[in-house]
């Protein structure tokens, strides 16, 4: 099973049903199928059903809600925190999943 790092609070959001996507800067090679998100002391297995590519500027409010955020602005601010050099035309990978 493939693995991807995720902060503990985001794993909790998956468990609560609030988060069913993760958004990463860059064009990530992620396959559909089983994936395990892991933090230092927790993990959760998911089934990735969709991987799509876009740009930072093209992210939508729907993307934000799928990733567990209330608004697109909240998502954008969080992405800027993780990726300080992110720009409007930066490539983005959107990974959509359901927990197993």
Where are the chain's structural domains?
A: 2-99
pTM of the model: 0.95
Q: What is the pLDDT of residue 93?
A: 99
73, two tokens: 């602005």
The mean pLDDT of 12-22, rounded to a whole number, is 98
What is residue 27's predicted lDDT score, i.e. its pLDDT?
98
Cβ–Cβ under 8 Å, residues 7 and 39: yes
Tens of pLDDT, residue by residue over 19-78, are: 999 999 999 999 999 999 999 999 999 999 999 999 999 999 999 999 999 999 999 999
Whether 3 contacts 28, CB under 8 Å: no
Question: 59: how many CB neighbours lie within 10 A of its CB?
Answer: 19
Q: Could you give the CA distance from residue 61 to residue 9 in angstroms, rounded to a whole number?
A: 21
pLDDT at 1 over 90: no
Fold of 2-99: 2.30.130
């Amino acid at each position: 099973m493939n693995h991807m790092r995720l902060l503990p609070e985001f794993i909790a959001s998956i468990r609560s049903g609030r988060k069913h996507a993760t958004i990463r800067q860059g064009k990530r090679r992620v396959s559909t199928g089983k994936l395990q998100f892991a933090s230092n002391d927790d993990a959760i297995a998911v089934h990735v059903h969709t991987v799509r590519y876009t740009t930072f500027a093209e992210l939508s409010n729907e993307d934000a809600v799928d990733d567990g955020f209330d608004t697109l602005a909240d998502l954008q601010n969080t992405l800027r925190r993780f990726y300080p050099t992110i720009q409007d035309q930066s490539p983005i990978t959107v990974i959509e999943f359901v927990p197993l």
